[in-house]
């Protein structure tokens, strides 16, 4: 559901690229191609939109576009913190700003529609960027209303453009609402002091770094910054704006000031602003506003500079000064961009490693799915077995009646013994003995920990198996870990045709007391899957499982609950509810039955999807017709 519902453009644009490349790329290849396409698209979009302003020449527009696409606010999102959906919004931000500039003096339907189309694309690409872009455009549009008072036609064109924007991105709003109605809540709720305090802390941590050069590894929170090229441009633009008294450039200056107020810990003002923002806005933004806003700051700066750019009549020395500043700043920004590129190459997986982590025994299916709405109590950092996420719950209080964790073990165990530290290499402890997994078999690896509570990463590595588990405990209090209440067991298997010999290691060790050598006693149990009370037949696209229930109860699935699920038990409709863990739970009868869980969604969702689809098709058809059809000389003369 995420990012399919929260950033549909990410999925559908990747699908289009998959079609154009004839299905030759894997998942990571498609994602990298989408990011590369977005960055190149951002450069072309910035250049064309700045040129459309009609205030700068082609070389100046090229330099301004380079400042935008090489800005740390954009490259940090692409290379440092995996903010891929933020990157996909970058090509559409200049389109919105161009539309807003045009609306400043002429609120025609064409200009309003351009801004609405750009905003709709941003909302489909990444809603937090679109939210702050929408808020930032408000002072520019208000200034336009003051400078150019409303006319009668505005009563018609403004609602028409608004309706167009709603048709284009209404599906995205409703899709997010079906995940969690709080995302589109219209009620005003002030954020808690703890959330505001966390935001204040993050902005203070990021502030020093945002005024310094990019960090050597290009992976610090302060690397989300404006960059010295944009700072030089901003100073130059403010100076020229004051000299020329440009109203529209000054309005963009107010937009930039607003963004700085949100991201900069100005005493009293900064806290008050966040204290009075609705909880919905803070929930969409998260606790790192700089990740969303420095992209918008970079775009706003180049537009303000373009709008205030001096004309030859204002003195060639001003033009020369502006050119020198932008070239010098761009040279520095280009050198800073190498930090992000080095970081990208440094964390790149090899082809073999990439193939390994996509194997069924290594695939981590839960991080993205659960992180969006919160973790269930049994969540573990690392690959989790969906079959062991099936549970039968009491009809009275939803307590656990049956779970696969306590059934299906063959006797005697496949292996048992004590894991001890055999050798140490570069702060990595290698444990022995190795474990052997036979092809086609599933196992439970149970630990009885002997070592003291440690902060470390437990690795399980074989020829094809590659797993990481966080210690001492995961996010969920009942997930895998060493703490009281944690589940001390993992499910392991291999899809290899040969026996898998697995070595366990510990690294990223934070503990200082290493007097111990015995890590844990272990038991490796082979699982008889036919004896499990809940057997997973199919996970995607629809969950199908067979179960044996002792009574009428709830069957909890590993799927996160959202509105619109439907279930069939032996082909008959069954009630679907949200469990205490926010999972999908289905009412099931006693005895042996088969459950099929589907997601048909709501009629409204289907209607809005096709409305958005045909609206975007119509918009693209109109713009393609305008670009391709040009009247001949005779027709222009008649006109």
Q: Say whether pLDDT at 158 is over 80.
A: yes
Helix, coil or strand: residue 526: strand
**407: closest CA among 364, 363, 442?**
442
Q: Say whether pLDDT at 489 is over 60.
A: yes
Q: Say whether pLDDT at 638 is over 60.
A: no
Give residue 228's pLDDT band: very low, low, confident or very high (50, 70, 90). confident
**What are the angstrom distances between the C-alpha of 210 and each of 132, 201, 617?**
20, 14, 41
| 473: β partners | 481
pLDDT, tens only, 288-309: 888 889 999 999 999 999 998 8
Mean pLDDT, range 555-561, rounded to an integer: 91
**What are the angstrom distances between the C-alpha of 352 and each of 356, 361, 365, 436, 464?**
6, 15, 20, 22, 10
Identify the residue with better confidence: 573 or 638.
573
Cα–Cα distance for residue pair 344/334, rounded to 1 Å: 16
Determine how many CB atoms are found less than 10 A away from the CB of residue 240: 21
Sign of the torsion angle spanned by Cα atoms 289, 292, 295, 300: negative
Output the 3-class SS for 103-122. HHHCCCHHHHHHHHHHHHHH
Do residues 88 and 9 touch, judged by C-beta distance below 8 A? Answer: yes
Q: What pLDDT score does 534 carry?
A: 94
Q: Say whether pLDDT at 636 is over 50.
A: no
Q: What pLDDT score does 45 carry?
A: 96
pLDDT, tens only, 462-472: 988 988 888 88
Chain mean pLDDT for the chain: 86
The label of the residue with tokens 């070595």 reads: 503
Q: Show me where the domains of the chain are located.
A: 8-346, 409-527, 603-638
Is the domain 409-527 a CATH 2.60.120 member?
A: yes
Lowest-confidence segment of 154-168, 329-343, 485-499 by average pLDDT: 329-343
Determine how many CB atoms are found less than 10 A away from the CB of residue 505: 17
pLDDT, tens only, 362-412: 888 776 667 666 788 888 888 888 999 999 999 999 999 999 998 888 889
Mean pLDDT, range 474-480, rounded to an integer: 84
Q: Say whether pLDDT at 185 is over 60.
A: no
pLDDT, tens only, 595-608: 999 988 888 888 99
Q: Say whether pLDDT at 634 is over 60.
A: no
Q: Say whether pLDDT at 124 is over 80.
A: yes
Q: Say whether pLDDT at 150 is over 90.
A: no
Q: What pLDDT score does 71 carry?
A: 92
Look up the pTM and report it.
0.85
pLDDT, tens only, 528-537: 999 999 999 9
Q: What pLDDT score does 179 carry?
A: 67
Give residue 637's pLDDT band: very low, low, confident or very high (50, 70, 90). very low
């Amino acid at each position: 559901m995420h990012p399919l519902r929260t950033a549909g453009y990410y999925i559908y644009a990747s699908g289009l690229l998959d079609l154009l490349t004839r299905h030759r790329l894997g998942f990571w290849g498609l994602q990298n191609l989408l990011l590369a396409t977005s960055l190149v698209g951002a450069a072309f979009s910035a250049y064309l939109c700045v040129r459309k302003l009609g205030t700068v020449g082609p070389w100046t527009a090229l330099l301004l576009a380079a400042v935008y696409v090489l800005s740390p606010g954009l490259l940090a999102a692409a290379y440092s913190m995996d903010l891929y959906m933020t990157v996909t919004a970058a090509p559409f931000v200049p389109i919105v700003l161009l539309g807003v500039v045009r609306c400043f003096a002429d609120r025609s339907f064409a200009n309003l529609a351009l801004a609405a189309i750009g905003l709709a694309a941003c909302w489909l690409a990444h809603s937090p960027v679109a939210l702050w872009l929408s808020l930032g455009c408000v002072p520019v549009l208000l200034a336009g209303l003051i400078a150019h008072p409303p006319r009668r036609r505005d009563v018609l064109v403004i609602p028409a453009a608004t309706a167009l924007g709603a048709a284009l991105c209404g599906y995205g709003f409703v899709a997010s609402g079906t995940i969690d109605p709080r995302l589109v809540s219209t009620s005003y709720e002030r954020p808690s002091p703890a959330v505001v305090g966390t935001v204040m802390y993050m902005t203070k941590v990021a502030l020093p770094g945002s005024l310094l050069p990019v960090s050597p590894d290009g992976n610090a929170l302060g690397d989300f910054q404006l960059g010295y090229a944009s700072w030089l441009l901003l100073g130059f633009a403010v100076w020229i704006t004051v000299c020329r008294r440009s109203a529209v450039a000054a309005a963009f200056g107010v937009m930039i000031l607003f963004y700085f107020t949100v991201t900069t810990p100005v005493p009293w003002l900064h806290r008050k602003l966040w204290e009075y923002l609705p909880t919905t806005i803070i929930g969409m933004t998260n606790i790192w506003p700089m990740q969303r806003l420095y992209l918008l700051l970079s775009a706003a700066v180049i537009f303000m500079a373009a709008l205030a750019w001096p004309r030859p009549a204002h003195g060639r020395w001003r033009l020369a000064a502006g050119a020198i500043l932008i070239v010098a700043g761009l040279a520095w920004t280009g050198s800073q961009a190498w930090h992000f590129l080095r970081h990208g190459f440094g964390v790149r997986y090899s082809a073999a490693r990439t193939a390994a982590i996509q194997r069924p025994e290594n695939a981590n299916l839960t991080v993205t799915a659960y992180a969006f709405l919160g973790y269930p109590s049994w969540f573990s950092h690392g690959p989790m077995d969906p079959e062991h996420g099936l549970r039968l719950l009491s009809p009275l209080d939803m307590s656990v009646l049956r779970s696969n964790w306590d059934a299906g073990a063959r006797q005697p165990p496949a292996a048992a013994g004590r894991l001890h530290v055999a050798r140490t290499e570069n702060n990595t402890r290698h444990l022995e003995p190795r474990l052997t997994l036979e092809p086609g078999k599933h196992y439970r690896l149970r630990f009885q920990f002997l070592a003291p509570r440690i902060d470390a990463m437990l690795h399980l590595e074989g020829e094809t198996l590659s797993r990481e588990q966080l210690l001492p405990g995961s996010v969920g209090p009942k997930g895998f870990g060493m703490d009281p209440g944690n589940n001390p067991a993992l499910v392991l298997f291999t899809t290899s045709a040969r026996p898998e010999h697995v070595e366990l290691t510990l690294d990223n060790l934070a503990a200082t007391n290493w007097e111990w050598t015995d890590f844990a006693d272990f038991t490796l149990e082979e699982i008889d899957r036919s004896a499990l009370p809940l057997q997973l037949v199919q996970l995607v696209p629809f969950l199908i499982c067979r179960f044996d229930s002792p009574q009428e109860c709830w069957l909890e699935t590993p799927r996160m609950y959202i509105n619109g699920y439907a279930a069939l038990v032996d082909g008959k409709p069954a009630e679907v509810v949200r469990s205490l863990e926010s999972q999908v739970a289905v009412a099931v009868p006693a005895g042996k039955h088969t459950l099929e869980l589907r997601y048909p969604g709501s009629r409204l969702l289907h209607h809005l999807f096709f409305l958005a689809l045909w609206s975007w098709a119509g918009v693209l058809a109109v713009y393609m017709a305008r670009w391709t059809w040009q009247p001949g000389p005779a027709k222009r003369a008649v006109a």
